[in-house]
Amino acid sequence: MNNPVYTVSKKFRAGIIGATGMVGQRFITLLENHPYFETAGLAASGRSAGMTYGEAVEGRWKLDIPCPENIKKMVVHDASDVAGFAEGLDLVFCAVNMKKDEIKALEEAYAKAEVPVISNNSANRWTPDVPMVIPEINDFHLEVIETQRKRLGTKRGFIAVKPNCSIQSYVPMLAAIRDLVPTRVVATTYQAISGAGKTFREWPEMIDNVIPYIGGEEEKSEKEPLRIFGSVEGGVIVPAASPLITTQCIRVPVTNGHTAAVFMDLEKKASKDEIIARFREFSGKPQALRLPSAPEHFITYFDEDNRPQSALDRGIYGGMGVSCGRLRTDTMFDWKFVGLSHNTLRGAAGGAVLIAELLAAEGWI
């Protein structure tokens, strides 16, 4: 992409809460040499507190790219010491493995310490004044931050969240054809093991195996798109009433990349070429602002019958692009297609970093 519209003279100091987990590790690699943010603090559970980061993740580094050497030397803080860790930070990214009520309390504590929280967790996705954002689709939801700040009694602090990783593999395509009014959607997602924070070394049972259940995923996959498509009324987000979505979520033996097989009915008629054109032309605020993590094309449509493939296409635009293919008519529904997104980049840490870039560019942090 061309040079960004928004630049900074001094980088924002970012903390990572849950830094030792897989998504935390992704945050670390994404923030290395980032033009807006620098990693200024790492926090995790009390088990890791006081160790250097290199010691804390020894034998537990899950990514196929190395940990930056300067990060290995940083000392890990206790995430529960909110006042101590928050001092001097401009924002925090949060990706922790805790109970939902504990996560909500932790994220609110950081927000009340006047540190914006960009969360990968699900705990606050249904808090009415917390924006849950796919930046290309519903950036206008950020306006509810003003309502949230009044509730929390903060001037700078707030919480913004990204949605579940699975919905990124089909919701962008539904967003691109909203003018055609999707009414019914059936989506089956085939989800990589990294979505569970695992590698094949840690989860050998997944080799040559498929598990037809992922706890809580189907409810998220059916309901979260309606919040993404929702409106802002009275300072809070009101979910859309349609389309009606039903899903099945299946764990498959793939390292990265969530695939979705989607069937849909549309209220308005359109040709295959018209739908594909909408996919290819769809863009949003990140592309307009040329944000650093924004893919040049949000959706890439493949004409080949055997695309998208997780191994070939999950890394498109650095893992921040979404791809789809095999759009065709169906015997029961109007149309069907296959979608793919990188679950730990667009679907997790990368999506959160893109939200933070948008928040910075629009003056929220």
For 185: left if phi > 0, alpha if psi spans -120 to 50, otherwise beta; the answer is beta
Amino acid at 295: P
Provide, for the chain, the percentages of residues in helix, strand and coil under a 3-state DSSP scheme, each rounded to the nearest 5. 35, 25, 45
* Catalytic position from the list 94, 141, 249, 258: 258
Q: How far apart are CA 167 and CA 225, in angstroms?
A: 7
Active site residue 77: no
Sign of CA dihedral 22, 25, 30, 36: positive
- State the virtual CA torsion across 31, 37, 38, 43 in degrees, nearest 10: -70
Residue 363 Cα to chain centre, angstroms: 21
Phi and psi of 358, rounded to 5°?
-65, -45
Strand partners, 107: none
Residue 315 Cα to chain centre, angstroms: 15
Q: How far apart are CA 219 and CA 101, in angstroms?
A: 18
- Distances in Å between the Cα of 65 and the Cα atoms of 29, 61, 111, 148, 284 are 8, 9, 32, 38, 30
The DSSP result for 59-110, as a single string, is: TT--SSSPPPHHHHTSBEEETT-HHHHHTT-SEEEE---S-HHHHHHHHHHH
Active site residue 141: no
The radius of gyration of the chain from alpha carbons, rounded to an integer in Å, stands at: 20
Exposed e or buried b per residue across 14-46, where buried means at least 16 C-beta atoms within 10 angstroms of its C-beta? bbbbbbbbbbbbbbbbbbeebebbebbbbbbbe
* Catalytic position from the list 77, 141, 165, 249: 165
The catalytic residue positions are 165, 258
